[in-house]
Structure 1
Amino acid sequence: MRRWVLAATSEPISRTTTAERLHGFPRRSADRPDLVHAAVALCVTVHDGRPALLITRRAPRLRAHAGQWALPGGRLDPGETVVDAALRELREEVLLTVPPTDVLGVLDDYVTRSGYVMTPVVCWAGEVGTLVGAEAEVAAVHQVPLAYLDVEPTLTRIPESDAPVIALPLLGRQLHAPTAAIIHQFCRIACRGLVTRVAHFEQPVFAWR
């Protein structure tokens, strides 16, 4: 059985350390055939010499979750694997092509209040320069240093649920679940070598639709 090194604080990561920490990760899947299966890309870039994560701001005219922070992703097409779907969504949303050989692992499924099972796929793109999102879907593309994301989350309570609502700070605003939960799990694994579960974290009520 793989041993995990427990770190009290995060440390600089590389493709090699990220791959090592994801190797053998005891992933948990959600067996929910009644829900729509989707994949999101946790795409690590190197921006200004630091590892960063690609995060988009959804276009304001989208019917669902307009203007919210998101990871590139979407529902699986018939016959697609989660890896195929995540890499396709990267190409379609931020015009970035990442080959399957740059996929480092897959994290826990997260079941959303809006009826999806989201599977996060981790890939390492390295230096990619400036990215411009597809206008119909993406208002802005950010490469956020992992050091800004590997922080203690804010946990709050709401009357509609017994589970804590998770949020992370992002560019002067708040990043909520499901994206916040998925990024929190990734940072704990990649930056600290910690196996952390996040499926129990709640979304804010505005994201339930």
Structure 2
Amino acid sequence: MLLHGSLRSEVERRLRDFPVRTLDAGTHRTAAVVVALAEEGEGADIPGLARPAGWSPAAALLLTRRAEALSSHSGQWALPGGRIDEGESPQEAALRELHEELGLRLDAADVLGRLDDYATRSGFVITPVVVWAGAARGLVPNPAEVASVHRVRLAEFMRPDAPLLEPSDEPGRQILRLPLGSGWIAAPTAAVIYQFREVGLAGRDTRVAHFDQPLFARR
């Protein structure tokens, strides 16, 4: 794992050198999600996720639980994000959604780069945008969209049992999940985080568009 002090510059360099693959949305709708790197701080508890002995704050990723009242994907783990409005770039949409969902206002100077577009079974082409959120103090989750926000240290996504793969009902594809504490995260969120782990943290050019989603995540 990179030292915290060098993390921003190294992730930015790796993303700059990564040949991003974009997709033609066609009949799909477009959306952006935010891979937000922040200081760990206290965060919110996740079952089975224990801090190591001698714990001290480290770099973390901001992860949310979607509000139960939402019409789709309620209660699921998610990255901040949403639809790209007409005239917006993916980066602009990502920064807007981050502010709307978590009350965190960043600007273009905080964007470190992008990852591959990912087409979901529910009809979206998602563009992941990686940002540097620093201390990310004073987060105010929007209760209409976010049930809770969590700061998950990056080391959790480097676990040797990740990713979890199983056969899909579509020949030639596998369903991807990432372990988190005693639970797990499903694709597409898991696919985006896994590619960030591989490209941004491990320096390995890795594609994830071929990984599928569990049935419940396709609605």
TM (norm. structure 1) is: 0.91
Is the counterpart of residue 155 in structure 1 residue 148 in structure 2? Answer: no
8 Å Cα contact 1:178/1:203 also seen in 2: yes
Q: Distance in 1 between matches of 2:110 and 2:142?
A: 22
1:122 counterpart SS class: strand
Q: Which amino acid in the other structure matches residue 25 of structure 2?
A: R
Deviation at residue 130 of structure 1 after TM alignment: 5.2
Match of 1:41 in 2: 34
2:182 corresponds to 1:201 = no
The one-letter code of the counterpart of 2:164 is T
1:177 and 2:187 are equivalent in the alignment: yes
* Aligned mate of 2:142, from 121, 124, 134: 134
Per-residue CA shift, 1:63-107, capped at 9, x if unaligned? 000000000001111100000000000000011011110101011
TM-score (ref. length: structure 2)? 0.87
Give 3-state SS (helix, strand or coil) of 1:23's partner. Answer: helix
Corresponding position of 1:3: none
Gapped regions of structure 1 (runs ≥ 5): 1-9
Q: CA deviation at 1:163?
A: 0.8
1:117 aligns with 2:117: no
Choose from 186, 193, 198 the match for 2:196: 186
Shift of 1:12: 3.6
Separation in 1, partners of 2:145, 2:8: 29
Conservation of the 8 A alpha-carbon contact between 1:150 and 1:184 = no
Q: 3-state SS of the aligned residue for 2:173?
A: strand
- SS of the residue corresponding to residue 65 of structure 1 reads coil
> Deviating runs (4+, > 6 A) in structure 1?
none
- State the secondary structure of the residue aligned to 2:212: coil
CA drift of 1:160 comes to 4.9
RMSD of equivalent CA atoms: 1.3
